[in-house]
Structure 1
Amino acid sequence: MIIIARREIDFRPIIGAVVVFGIIGAVIFGIYYFGVAKPAAEEFEQAKLSALDQINSTLAAIGTDQASEAASRYSAEVQDAGSKSEVNAILVEVASTAQLEQKRKELLDEVATATNGTYFTTADVPELAALSQSLKEKINTMTSRSQMEAYEPQIDNQTTLTWRTYFTNLIGQMTVDRIAMLQNSPVYGEYMSKEYALAYVAGETWDTLRKLKFENPNTVEVPVLDTFERTPTIKPNSTVKIYVYDIATDNMRPIWGNATVGSVIYSQSDIATIEWALTDGATTQSYSVNVWESIKAAAAGDADAAAVAWQDYGVDVMDRARSANIGEYGVSVIYMVEVPDDIGAEITQYELHMTATKDVILVAIVE
């Protein structure tokens, strides 16, 4: 019997090799995972997040129904995208759609502005409401920027025509020939005949007409305090243009174009006292009177005071001064001007409560 001795196998080199190769593999995998795969995955995820932010800050922020729907659709596509290149391709479409929807929003905003004035809106004028609805429906059916750009002139033409028609009918129904035209933003107005008002409306576009209203005026008389130095030619029945000067901003703007001056009242402290003397050789004539006190005495029943020629005294004095081309510049004067009540309220506010910041200025119109 032959006995063969069993040779023991040394597994240590094998185990060592396995361990070494395992370590090497782990290192290689770690390098690949942490150096390539994980950064790529993180970059892809970051690209998605960035794309979603871009969609929300551009397309979704526009506010049209179409933009909101497109933003939802593109967001879902980004979430399902399998690569960064797909995400970039989606963003190209987002940019194109955003331009389209931004133009749509511009047109819809223009329609809203053009069909709603400062005095009249779509809630007041059925014709404006119908036009607004029609224009918006048309704009919402458009699928290209070129369509929208081509449609802009039609928006201008149709809104202008609607405003002109509305005001032409309104003015035609008025029963007086003197009409007040008022504008808001900024506040301004003037009186005009029906014929002039119709011609004015026919010559303006919607961006001006939407700020206007025409009405049979309810007028008020309001006082404007000034001096002879600043208003040397203004007297009763003068037609004046009224401005407001803003002291803080150094800006002057007109608020009424053709107001009529009624009464003119001069300060009694400036012209009521008369001290007059004329010397001719050895002869001296003198005259002394206080017109203000004479008026009070006449009102109390004094016959001598009533004989003093005080009627229209102030106006007569200033007319004679103008005829003589001389004047006391510092004479204070109150002009009562006739304006519509809206303008009167504004002037009164400036004259009585804002004298430190606003100055009402009257300028005579040369007839």
Structure 2
Amino acid sequence: MQIRSDILRIYQKVHLWTGITAGILLFICFFAGALTMFKPQLSAWASPPSHVLPQIPTAQADRLLQLALAQHPEIAKGFTLHLNDDMYAPLTWYSRGGGRRLNLDTQQWQATLDENGQLLTQQVQPSQLGLLIDLLHRTAGIPHTRLGISVMGVASVLYFMALVSGVIFLLPTLVKTLFALRQKKGPSRFWLDSHNLLGITALPFHIVIAVTVVVFAFHDVFYDALGKFVYDNPPDIMRGAPLAQPLNISHLPPLSEIIATANQHAPGHEARSLMFIGLDTPRPVARIEMYSEQALMRGPLADFLFMQPYSLATQFSTFSPTEGGTWGRIVATFFGLHFGSFGGMPGRWLYFFMGLSGAMLFYSGNLLWLEKRRQQQKGLNYHNNRAKYA
């Protein structure tokens, strides 16, 4: 394919400077992103075995909640129930910290039942390793989380420009050099061939990552704009209409009924954990993680079902074909492709290696730039010395 040399030089410069500007940040995010594919496993590995109380049959969840509530009334504000997951205790709630913020002072209570059906509780400081890796993935280590996410949004725009310009620059020699790893022509040529091969073979993956990161970084701006120019007073679909009068945990239906209702919402999905938030407020919500190995899930580890915990009315879900229409399914598909939340464990291993290959792409690009700068500096010193002694 013939492209004018002056146009190629322009795209080469665009590729060079966009790649260098964002390369270090993207290397950190891709390396950490590969590790986030096993975020729960890493957190469990970093926690002493004694920090996780044993699981119980789902049928005993209601008894567990009643006994725990009698000793710890603060559970009435909110708690999380984990179902058949040995990496978590059956019932957990935070006395300090929690959420997605890194907090070394986080304190968590856990509860389970012993062999005789009696309550066992303990207070632990949960491992922050998984949260730390996730934070590095989202912010590249920039201390202020919101600023870091915004910076990564800008870096992803540069990342997309580097992808497009790199492909255009490579087009004239694509067929001849794509699978050529020319080791005999020196380390620089080998790294260049490896860089090109990693970029072209995983191009669809990189395009999806670049586009979705921009959406993640600036979704508040997008939603605010839609709310102002497209919708009139858009509803809070994940919290629903406020209650006329706040209820309390005594009005909560049996957990077994909530779990059964959630499982009936989407055949093929199974409730994995239930997080109850704001049970004593006008806007209570149950956020239920729904898992399926056959589905392309929207979240990093599962789909989500939001229910009104007292009436069991569905407020929002990320997996129903009717939720959000065609556009909603497109968004959910992009999210699932970003997180690699499909295909079970083989899919997670695939994304783990894809993330590492992405980190290697930016590492090799920066290595090539440094080597080129070194050669240029060497040539400049050589000519300066010749001029000095001429």
Range of TM-score over shorter length: under 0.3
> Which structure has greater strand proportion?
1
> Which structure has greater helix proportion?
2
Query: Normalising to structure 2: TM-score of the pair?
Result: 0.16
Greater RCO (Cα-Cα under 8 Å, separation 6 or more): 2
Query: Normalising to structure 1: TM-score of the pair?
Result: 0.17
Rg comparison, structure with higher value: 1
